[in-house]
Amino acid sequence: MKIALIAHDRKKDSLVEFAIAYKDILQQHDLFATGTTGQRIQDEVGLTVTRFRSGPLGGDQQIGSMIANNDMDMVFFFRDPLTAQPHEPDVTALVRLCDVYHIPLATNMGTAEILLKGLQEGFVDWRLIQERRNS
């Protein structure tokens, strides 16, 4: 599975903690992340991550492009709902694309844990079906 990892500045610590806790599961998948988030996960967790630009510089849109091309299976986007984001339209577009293309999306640690446990148990194997990948 291809999994995107994104976090607003005030949520990066939480995403790193999450990645440490679930390293054994995450390392079995292809990980993608926006700039600083991806660097922190590589440095602090030791996971291999394909890094895109930072969110405000187009990283959210790069991940959105993968979603639109049916090339992303799951998104963990730890959002900070209490801080205005200068690139909020990009964030909204990314969330919308997840809805349009039926991509599981977690925006907080609680939902992320449930999705990751579901991934571990095979509850999202429907993403692996080739017909689904090409539609």
Residues acting as catalytic residues: 60
48 is in an annotated binding site: no
Q: DSSP labels for 24-35? A: HHHTTSEEEE-H
67 neighbors 94 (Cβ within 8 angstroms):
yes
107 is in an annotated binding site: no
87 is in an annotated binding site: yes
102 is in an annotated binding site: no
58 is in an annotated binding site: no
Please identify which residue in the block is written with the tokens 């990948």.
133
Q: DSSP labels for 85-113? A: -TTHHHHHHHHHHHHHTT--EE-SHHHHH
Binding-site residue ranges = 8, 12, 34-37, 54-55, 87
Binding-site residue ranges for substrate = 8, 12, 34-37, 54-55, 87
